[in-house]
Structure formats: C-alpha cells, structure tokens
C-alpha cells in the first residue's frame, strides 16, 4: 500500500528532522524522498512540513500526523520482519556508543556474550560522553545514563534497560583521618568529590526510605566521569557518590568503604537510544538482550568484586 509506505517515509523524515539524513538512512535520493512526501501531502490534503523556513519544522497537522503514525509504522515494520522471517535471526554490524566507565564494567561483557550467542553479529563499541547525537556520529545505538525514569527531552527513541543504586563511598585512608559521619548534614564539613554537569554539582539529594535530604557539598576535586570520581576517592580525595560496581571494581574504587550506610543518592537509570523507532531486527534483539541481562550482570559484578 503506497499510502502506508509514504507514511513510513514521513515518519523517518520527522525522526531525523532532515531530508538529506533521512534519505541517506532510507537509501534513496533526497529528491525522490521529497516527491514522495509531497505526494503524501496531496493525498492527505494538508502540508506536513513547513518549507518556507530554513529550520526543519512540522506543521501542526504534521506533528499530529507524526504522533499518530510513528507507532503504526513501527508495528508495520515489525510485522513485515516477522512475516519475512527476519526477526527470528540477528545478523549484521552494529555501531554502539557507550560511556567509558559503563563499557569497562558492564557493557563490554554483555556485548561479548551477545556476539557469542549470535555469531552473525559484529559490534563496534565507541566511547561517548554526555548526550550523543546519534545521527552526527553515525551510531546505531547509544547507551546513556539519566536520573529520571524517562528522557522527555530526547528527540530519539529510547528504552530503559536497567537501574542501579548510587551510594556514598570514601577510602579507608580518608575516613581514618576524619570524624565519623552520622548525618547527611555533616557532609558540609568534608571534602566531597563532585560530578561535573556543566559545573560541579554542589547539591546532593539523599534518601533514607521515605526521608529525603538535600545537602550542600564542596571539595577541591571534581570530574565529569563517574569512573574518575571513584579513582579520586580511592586516592583519598574525599567522599563520592558511586554505584557499587565502580566503588569495588579493582580498576576504579578498588574496595572503597561505604559512608552513611542507611542513606542513598538518587538512583541512575540506563537508557538505550536509537535514531528511530523503526529498528532492524539486530538492534531490537540487542536492546532486549541488554534489558534482560542487565540486573544479572550487576549481581555478578557485585559478588565478584565484594568477595
């Protein structure tokens, strides 16, 4: 059905917000793609995209059409693959961007297991930071950390694949030189190693069951990598908020000691991002594999490094 095919083309254009990138992803000339979208607009009886501005923008009708069509198109693609038998196997090459710390601890072992399970799959792992532009970096998939259960500001498709707690840790050497901390308010008198998100984060939100406290912290050391926070804490620079798998990992925290053992920081959520909801079988299967095995990997790492 030509209408559904053109609708799928429109969804891809709206996903990428650029005719040239969408055409490259679809494997067709940009001029052909533009003609197909124009034909769809004529069939619908209204414009989908503002063509009078230099910045890509959907019309109000185009935005409504996109919101209602993207799930339909994704489902149609799934049905097509199922009927063709493609979804029963995974093959091909995948470019994945992962923050260095997470790659070293969690995701490289998971990717290795996936490739062993699916010999026709090859995975290229690239180190990324922050919120990557999947299209500009030609990534099929990216792993991202967030402190909310959703990514409402992301223009890409995302799925949460796992969550891990974050706690307070310091080295034995640091704690031996300082008075024992019994309340979050006492952190103000300690050297705290702050994560950098634009600027060092100086407000730590801590939780104990239903009790919440926000404390102001300071310290000489800061870093934009959780792995570097763990290493700085290991070197005696102070207290850091870390996941267990970095606090105990021999390459990072190497047996840091927990501080304020009944308090935790806001948990971190791991998201898998793809440029489009119209995913191939190899991407969809890999994301499902990561989600299914994430918690088991955390448990395995925890028992390995704590023993």
Q: What is the number of domains present in the chain? A: 3
pLDDT at position 157: 79
pTM for the model stands at 0.70
Strands 121-128 and 157-170: unpaired
Phi, psi torsion values for 202, nearest 5 degrees? -105, 0
Whichever domain contains 139, its CATH number is 3.40.190.10
The CATH code of the domain that includes 201 is: 3.40.190.290
- The DSSP bridge pattern shows strands 264-274 and 141-146 to be antiparallel
- Contact predicate 171/256, CB 8 Å: yes
Range of the domain at 65: 2-86
- Return the closest-CA partner of residue 204 out of 264, 288, 274: 264
Give the whole-angstrom CA distance, residue 216 versus residue 19.
47
Q: Are residue 156 and residue 273 in the same domain, yes or no?
A: yes
Asked if residue 205 and residue 128 are part of one domain, the reply reads no
- Ranges of the chain whose pLDDT falls below 70: 1, 53, 78-91, 135, 148-155, 277-278, 305-307
The distance between the two most distant Cα atoms of the chain, rounded to a whole number of Å, is 75
Q: Are residues 182 and 242 in the same domain?
A: yes
Query: In this structure, what token pair is assigned to residue 26?
Result: 């679809």
pLDDT of the residue at 173: 94
Distance (Å, whole) CA 96 – CA 134: 9
**SS3 of residue 130 by DSSP:** coil
């Amino acid at each position: 059905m030509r209408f559904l095919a053109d609708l799928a083309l429109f969804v891809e254009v709206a996903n990428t917000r650029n005719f040239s990138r969408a055409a490259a992803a679809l494997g067709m000339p940009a001029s052909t793609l533009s003609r197909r979208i124009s034909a769809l607009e004529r069939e619908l009886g209204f414009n989908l995209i503002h063509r009078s501005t230099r910045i890509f923008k959907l019309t109000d009708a185009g935005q409504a059409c996109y919101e209602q069509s993207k799930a339909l198109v994704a489902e149609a693609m799934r049905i097509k693959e199922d009927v063709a038998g493609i979804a029963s196997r995974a093959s091909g090459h995948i470019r994945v961007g992962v923050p260095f710390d997470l790659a070293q601890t969690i995701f490289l072992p998971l990717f290795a297991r996936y490739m062993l399970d699916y010999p026709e799959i090859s995975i290229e792992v690239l180190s990324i930071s922050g919120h990557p532009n999947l299209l500009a970096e030609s990534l099929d998939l990216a792993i991202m950390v967030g402190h909310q259960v959703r990514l409402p500001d992301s223009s890409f498709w995302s799925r949460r694949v796992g969550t891990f707690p974050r706690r307070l840790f310091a080295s034995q050497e640091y704690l031996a030189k300082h008075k024992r901390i019994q309340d979050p308010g006492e952190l103000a008198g300690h050297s705290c190693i702050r994560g950098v998100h634009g600027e060092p984060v100086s407000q730590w939100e801590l939780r104990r069951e239903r009790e919440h406290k926000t404390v102001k912290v300071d310290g000489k050391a800061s870093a934009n990598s959780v792995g570097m926070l763990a290493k700085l804490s290991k070197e005696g620079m102070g207290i850091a908020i870390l996941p267990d798998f970095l606090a105990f990992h021999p390459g990072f925290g190497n047996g840091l000691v927990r501080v304020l053992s009944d308090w935790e920081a806001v948990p971190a959520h791991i998201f898998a991002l793809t440029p489009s909801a119209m995913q191939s079988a190899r991407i969809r299967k890999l994301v499902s594999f990561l989600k299914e095995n994430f918690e088991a990997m955390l448990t395995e790492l925890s028992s390995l490094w704590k023993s």
